[in-house]
Amino acid sequence: MIIGVPKEIYPGERRVALVPMVVPILTKAGCEVVIEAGAGEEAGYPDSHYVQKGAKIIPERAAVFESADIIVQVLCYGSNDITGKADLPLLRRDQVLIGFLRPLGSMEVIQKIANTGITSFAVELVPRTTRAQSMDALSSMGTICGYKAVLIAADTLPRIFPMLTTAAGTITPARVLIIGAGVAGLQAIATARRLGAVASAYDLRPAAKEQVQSLGGRFIELPIEAKDAQDARGYGTAQDESFYARQRELLGRVVAESDVVITAAVVPGKQSPVLVTAEMVKGMAPGSVIFDLASERGGN
C-alpha cells in the first residue's frame, strides 16, 4: 500500500497533508510513503525530515499520483476551485483520495471527481463525536481561523485592544463583536478576551449563549426567534429572508458600536447569509475592522 503526498497547489497554501512524525507509524503498518519534492517546506518540513523518517521523495507530481494507492491532500479539487482541476487527469480508477473536498459545494465539481472512478473521503464530514475527535480537522482549522482573525484584526485596528491606565489618562478597551458562535467564533471570543478587548457575540442558536458566557463574552439577545435554529449535528440552519432582514435591522446598532466585527456564520452546503450590509458599515467609526470568515461561501 503506497500513500502519496503531493504538494499543495492552491495559491498561498502552506499546509501539508502529512507531517514527518506520522511516517514511521504508516511504515510500521506496512505502508510505503512517497512525498512530492518540496511538499512540506512551506510548513517547516524540508524533504530531509521525511527521508529521515523513512519516506521516499519523488520529484515529479504526476509520478506521485501514478504510484500511490492513497492520495492525501489538504485542499483537493472541490475545495481548491482555482488550481485543483489540474489534478483531475492524474487521478485513476480505484485510487483513494482523502482531504478537504467541499462535498456540499458544487454538484458539477463533485460529479467530475466521481467520474474519475476514485473513492474519496471528505475530512470535513468526519462527525464531531468523541470517538472521531482525533480526526476532526474541521474543528482544528476553525479554531486556528478564529484565533488568527482576532490577531490580524488587532494588528489592523488603529487602536489597542486592552484598557490601559496611563499618566495621561485611561484608554478604554476595544469592542469586538463576533457573529456566529461556532468553533471559529468561540475561539475568536477567547482570543479577543485574552488580548483585553470587550467581546460580545450573537448566534441564532439559543444553545450558544452558555458557551459564549463561559468564555467571558457578552451574549447579544435579539427580540427575534429562529425556526429550528440548529440541526441534529449542532450546526445553525438556514432561515428565510424575512428573518435575516429583521436580524440585520436589529444588529445594526450593535455593529455601529463595535471597533471590530468578525463574522463566522456559515450554513453547511448553502451560501452564507448576508448579515452586515453596506449601510451598517457606514455607521461604524473610521478605522474599524471587519473580518469575514464566511467569505469562502459568499460571505456574511
What DSSP designation does 127 have? -
Q: Which residues contact 287 (CB under 8 A, 6 or more apart)?
A: 157, 158, 159
Structural domain ending residue among the three candidates 95, 124, 153: 124
* In-domain check, residue 130: no
The whole-number pLDDT of residue 177 equals 97
Q: Which residues contact 217 (CB under 8 A, 6 or more apart)?
A: 178, 189, 193, 199, 200, 201
Q: What is the CB neighbour count within 10 angstroms for residue 143? A: 18
The whole-number pLDDT of residue 258 equals 96
The answer to whether residues 82 and 207 belong to one domain is no
The whole-number pLDDT of residue 127 equals 85
The answer to whether residues 91 and 164 belong to one domain is no
The answer to whether residues 171 and 94 belong to one domain is no
The whole-number pLDDT of residue 226 equals 63
The answer to whether residues 114 and 154 belong to one domain is no
Q: Which residues contact 164 (CB under 8 A, 6 or more apart)?
A: 170, 171
Active site residues: 128, 133, 136, 139, 235
The answer to whether residues 146 and 103 belong to one domain is no
pLDDT digits (tens, 9 = 90+) for 167-219: 889 999 999 999 999 999 999 999 999 999 999 999 988 888 999 999 999 99
* In-domain check, residue 132: no
The whole-number pLDDT of residue 239 equals 66
Three-state SS at 90: helix
| CB of 146 closer than 8 Å to CB of 183 | yes
The answer to whether residues 108 and 74 belong to one domain is yes
| Residue from 137, 86, 95, 138 nearest 114 by CA | 95
Which structural domain, as residue segments, surrounds residue 222?
Answer: 137-297
What burial class does residue 217 get, using C-beta atoms within 10 Å of its C-beta: 0-12 exposed, 13-18 middle, 19+ buried?
buried
The answer to whether residues 26 and 84 belong to one domain is yes
* In-domain check, residue 29: yes
Cα–Cα–Cα angle for 230, 233, 236, rounded to 5 degrees? 30
The answer to whether residues 167 and 282 belong to one domain is yes
Q: Give the whole-angstrom CA distance, residue 175 versus residue 255.
A: 10
The answer to whether residues 116 and 180 belong to one domain is no
* In-domain check, residue 129: no
Instruction: Let me know how many helices (H) and strands (E) the chain has, helices first.
Output: 9, 13
212 vs 86, 114, 159, 163, 223, CA distance in Å?
42, 40, 25, 21, 18
> How do beta strands 260-263 and 218-219 pair?
unpaired
Q: What stretches in the chain show pLDDT beneath 50?
A: none
Q: What is the CB neighbour count within 10 angstroms for residue 155? A: 8
The answer to whether residues 114 and 163 belong to one domain is no
| Residue from 74, 57, 69, 66 nearest 30 by CA | 69
The answer to whether residues 149 and 178 belong to one domain is yes
CATH number, domain containing residue 162: 3.40.50.720
Torsion sign over Cα 271, 272, 276, 278: negative
* In-domain check, residue 52: yes
Chain position carrying cell 473610521: 286
The answer to whether residues 173 and 287 belong to one domain is yes
Measured between alpha carbons, how far apart are the two ends of the chain, in Å? 44
| CB of 220 closer than 8 Å to CB of 202 | yes
Total domains in the chain come to 2
* In-domain check, residue 131: no
